[in-house]
């Protein structure tokens, strides 16, 4: 795995966790909205072109002409939000006659969001985000050290 592969994988993880946090935030924000259904992000392996191939295309270089440094073996490219499922579990019924969403009996189905569970999911997403960010920071630090070694040698 090359330096660019590492950054590509970590950036995909950062983006997936950011999207996951956005969905969880929507769930928490709508926890008191009658009829709102909880959304659940599904993370799947990311299958896109690696950073080195995208860069080569932008520079107008043939993909097969990329040097060995840029064209490392693709061990993995991280994850992405593949789809967002809607939890169809019914919410609690509350008797509110006259509410616009009330049924014939005057009952309103509330949201099916459990804010405590969502907060736990948010904590996991934040931890995963921070782990990916740490990988980027370590790679950046290693690259700086490598450049400093080159300066000292000359």
Q: Where are the domains of the chain?
A: 3-88+118-153
Written in H, E and C, the secondary structure of the chain is: CCHHHHHHHHHHHHHHHHHHHHHHHHHHHCCCCCCCCCEEEEEEECCCCCHHHHHHHHHCCCHHHCCCCCCCCCCCCCEEEEEEEECCCCCCEEECCCCCCCCCCCEEECCCCCHHHHHHHHHHHHHHHHHHHHHHHHHHHHHHHHHHHHHHHC
Which region among 6-20, 29-43, 82-96, 113-127 has the lowest average model confidence (pLDDT)? Answer: 6-20
* pLDDT score recorded for residue 9: 86
Average pLDDT for 105-123: 97
pLDDT band at 91 (very low <50, low <70, confident <90, very high): very high
Task: Say if residue 97's pLDDT is above 90.
Answer: yes
Averaging pLDDT over each range in 2-11, 73-82, 90-99, which range is the top one? 90-99
pLDDT digits (tens, 9 = 90+) for 28-84: 999 999 999 999 999 988 866 666 666 677 777 766 665 544 545 455 678 899 999
């Amino acid at each position: 795995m090359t330096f660019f592969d590492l950054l590509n994988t970590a950036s995909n993880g950062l983006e997936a966790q950011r999207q996951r946090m956005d969905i969880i935030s929507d769930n928490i924000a709508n926890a008191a909205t009658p009829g709102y259904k909880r959304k659940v992000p599904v993370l799947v392996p990311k299958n896109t072109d690696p950073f080195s191939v995208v860069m080569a295309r932008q520079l107008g270089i043939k993909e097969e002409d990329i040097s060995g440094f840029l064209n490392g073996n693709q061990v993995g490219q991280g994850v992405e939000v593949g789809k967002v499922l809607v939890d169809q579990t019914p919410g609690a019924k509350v008797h509110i006659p006259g509410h616009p969403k009330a049924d014939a009996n005057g009952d309103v189905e509330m949201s099916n969001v459990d804010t405590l569970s969502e907060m736990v999911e948010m904590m996991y997403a934040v931890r995963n985000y921070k782990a990916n960010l740490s990988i980027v920071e370590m790679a950046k630090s290693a690259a700086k050290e490598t450049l400093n070694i080159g300066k000292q040698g000359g």
